[in-house]
Amino acid sequence: MVAFLIRRILFLVPVLLGGSAIVFTLIQLAPGDPIDVLLGVYSSPESRQALREAYGLNDPPYVQYFRWLGHILQGDWGISIQQRVPVLTLVMEKFWITLLLTGAAGSFAIIVGVGAGIVSAVKHNTWIDRVILVVSVFALSMPSYWLGLLFIFVFSVQLGWLPTGGIRSFIEPKSTLDVIEHMIMPGIVAGLTPAAIIARVARAAMLEVMRLDFLTALRAKGLSEGAVILRHALRNAMPSIVNMTGLQIGYLILGGALFVEIIFSWPGLGLEIYKSVVGRDMPMMLGLVLFSTFVFVILNLLVDICYRIMNPRIQSE
Amino acid sequence: MAAPSDIVSTSPGSTQGESNDPWRRLRVLKNHKSIVAGAIIVSLVVLAALLAPVLSPYDPIEGHPIDRLKGIGTPGYLLGADQQGRDMLSRLMWGARSSLAIAVVPLAVAGLIGLVLGSVAGYSGRIVETLIMRGMDIVFGLPPILLAIAVAATLGPGLVNLMISLTIVLIPPMTRVTYQVVVILKEQTFIEAARASGASSFQIIFNQILPNSVAPVIAYATSLAGAILVFGAGISFIGLGIQPPEADWGRMINDGRSMLDLKPHVSTLPGLAIFVLAAGFNFLGDGLRDLLDPRMRL
Contact in structure between A277 and A285 (CB atoms under 8 Å): yes
| C-alpha atoms less than 13 angstroms from C-alpha of B244 in its C-beta half-sphere | 12
* Mean pLDDT lowest among A139-148, B136-145, B154-163, B179-188: B136-145
**Measured between CB atoms, does A279 come within 8 Å of chain B?**
no
Partners of B74 in the beta sheet? B77
pLDDT in tens, B25-34: 666 666 778 8
CA distance B287 to B298: 9
| Residue A194 with chain B: CB contacts under 8 Å | none
Contact in structure between B253 and B17 (CB atoms under 8 Å): no
Quote the pTM value. 0.82
User: Nearest residue on chain A to B38, judged by CA atoms?
Assistant: A137
Cβ–Cβ contacts within 10 Å for residue B63, how many?
17
Average pLDDT over residues A122-127: 84
User: DSSP labels for A13-32?
Assistant: HHHHHHHHHHHHHHHHH-SS
Q: Which of A142, A145, A273 sits opposite B253 (nearest CB)?
A: A145
pLDDT in tens, B71-121: 777 777 777 777 776 777 778 888 888 889 888 999 999 999 998 898 888
Instruction: Check whether A64 has a pLDDT greater than 90.
Output: no
CA distance A133 to A151: 23
Q: Which of A138, A149, A200 to mutate to test the interface with B (most CBs of B within 10 A)?
A: A149
Tell me if A200 and B233 make a contact (CB, 8 A cut-off): no
User: DSSP labels for B176-239?
Assistant: HHHHHHHHHHHTSHHHHHHHHTT--HHHIIIIIIHHHHHHHHHHHHHHHHHHHHHHHHHHHHTT
Confidence of residue B167 (pLDDT cuts 50, 70, 90): very high
Cβ contacts from A onto B, under 8 A: 150
Average pLDDT over residues A227-254: 77
| Residue B296 with chain A: CB contacts under 8 Å | 204
pLDDT of amino acid B1: 39
Average pLDDT over residues B177-181: 86
pLDDT in tens, A2-27: 777 887 788 778 877 887 787 677 76
Tell me if B141 and A15 make a contact (CB, 8 A cut-off): yes
Of B52, B103, B39, B88, whose CA–CA distance to B274 is shortest?
B103
Q: Which of B135, B149, B227 sits opposite A277 (nearest CB)?
A: B149
CA distance A278 to B152: 11
ipTM above 0.95, yes or no: no
| Residue A256 with chain B: CB contacts under 8 Å | 145
| Residue B142 with chain A: CB contacts under 8 Å | 19, 22-23, 289, 293, 296
